[in-house]
Amino acid sequence: PAPRTVLLTGAAGGLGTLMRDLLPAYGYDLRLLDARPVEGEPGAITADLGDLAALREAVRGVDAIVHLAGISLEAPFEKILRSNIEGTYHLYEAAREEGVGRVVFASSNHAVGFTPRPRGATPLSDSALIPIDTPHRPDTFYGLSKSFGEDLAQLYWDLHGLETVSVRIGSCFPEPTSVRMLSVWMSPEDGARLFHAALTAEDVGHSVVYGSSANTRLWWDLTSARALGYDPRDNSESFAPKLLAAEGELDDTNPDHAHLGGHFCTNPPIWPF
């Protein structure tokens, strides 16, 4: 049966806030969790991913988990270790102990951020797109934690039969704000479509997919996402004239533009907390 009750971790964050608005239209009953209080949601669970007992209680009785909680930028290794590596492990342990069947894991393009940016005329030919089985090449400790999360998901599928869809999200914000984002942008509405597909597709085992809209300037292969039933409707190209006028085309001599992960490879934004 299709999942109905879904735990959304990271519900106070940017993506969590967008998904709190968009996912209920697909028929989900969301249970919310974050280390911070979730504004306007007095019923949300305030708990840290370090608290295994709280996580066990939070996952009890849910059909699936959309796991967005964690440090979403670069940080000292010890902080990444606590929130993203140990925290994700705790969540999987809680899910296993409570018999939850599926997790949708917010992985990131930064798990493969040091992959060279594909070059060629727009749109790229299918053979030039970055395949989903490209080796992990994290660009930061943050990206490393997402590589770990994908491997953890694979282990819990192989060992325990707990399913995961790992979504290597590009940039999911209301609008793309740079020329790079024209290639990796996922509109919030397409994000909800992809999470819904990941929650409802049958027999996903551990599937890894890229998360973006159907952008004209796409860098990666969306085949594995489409195989879940994902049918993106949006395309960043309508934002291209404004962004290109401000920044120009990507520059082959600029190190910030050399890799999939963009400036995360050179000067990553640092988690402020």
Q: Among all residues, which ones are annotated catalytic?
A: 142
> Which of 69, 198, 199, 260 contacts ligand NAI by CB under 6 A?
69
Shortest spacing between CB 34 and ligand NAI, in angstroms: 5
Shortest spacing between CB 4 and ligand NAI, in angstroms: 23
Shortest spacing between CB 96 and ligand 15L, in angstroms: 26
The answer to whether 72 contacts ligand NAI (rule: CB under 6 A) is: yes
The answer to whether 14 contacts ligand NAI (rule: CB under 6 A) is: yes
263: DSSP letter? G
Report the residue number, 47 or 162, with the smaller CB distance to ligand NAI: 47
> Which of 87, 143, 232, 268 contacts ligand NAI by CB under 6 A?
87
74: DSSP letter? B
Report the residue number, 51 or 63, with the smaller CB distance to ligand NAI: 51
Q: How many CB atoms lie within 10 A of CB 260?
A: 27
The entry of ligand NAI, ligand 15L, none near residue 124 (CB within 5 to 8 angstroms by kind) is: none
* Cβ partners under 8 Å of residue 156, min gap 6: 92, 95, 96, 162, 164, 206
> Which of 23, 44, 49, 218 contacts ligand NAI by CB under 6 A?
49
Shortest spacing between CB 121 and ligand 15L, in angstroms: 23
The entry of ligand 15L, ligand NAI, none near residue 70 (CB within 5 to 8 angstroms by kind) is: ligand NAI
In whole angstroms, give the CA distance from residue 63 to residue 29: 10
The answer to whether 236 contacts ligand NAI (rule: CB under 6 A) is: no
Q: Which two tokens stand for residue 11?
A: 């519900």
Q: What are the angstrom distances between the C-alpha of 257 and each of 15, 26, 109, 143, 269?
A: 25, 37, 14, 17, 15
In whole angstroms, give the CA distance from residue 102 to residue 62: 10
Find out whether 219 and 130 touch, Cβ atoms under 8 Å.
Answer: yes
Report the residue number, 3 or 16, with the smaller CB distance to ligand NAI: 16
- For β-strands 29-34 and 102-108, DSSP reports them as unpaired
In whole angstroms, give the CA distance from residue 174 to residue 56: 33
Annotate 49-66 with b (16+ C-beta within 10 A) or e (fewer): beebebbbebbeebbbbb
Report the residue number, 90 or 146, with the smaller CB distance to ligand 15L: 146
Report the residue number, 59 or 108, with the smaller CB distance to ligand 15L: 108
Shortest spacing between CB 173 and ligand NAI, in angstroms: 6
Q: Which stretches of the chain bind ligand 15L, using CB under 6 A? A: 72, 108-110, 171
Q: Binders of ligand NAI among 115-174, rule CB under 6 A?
A: 169, 171-173
The answer to whether 3 contacts ligand NAI (rule: CB under 6 A) is: no
Q: What are the angstrom distances between the C-alpha of 196 and each of 132, 211, 224, 229?
A: 20, 12, 15, 9
Please, which residues bridge with residue 168 across strands? Answer: 107, 210
Q: Which amino acid is at 87?
A: G
Chain residues binding ligand NAI by CB under 6 A are 10, 12-16, 34-36, 48-49, 68-72, 83, 87, 106, 108, 169, 171-173
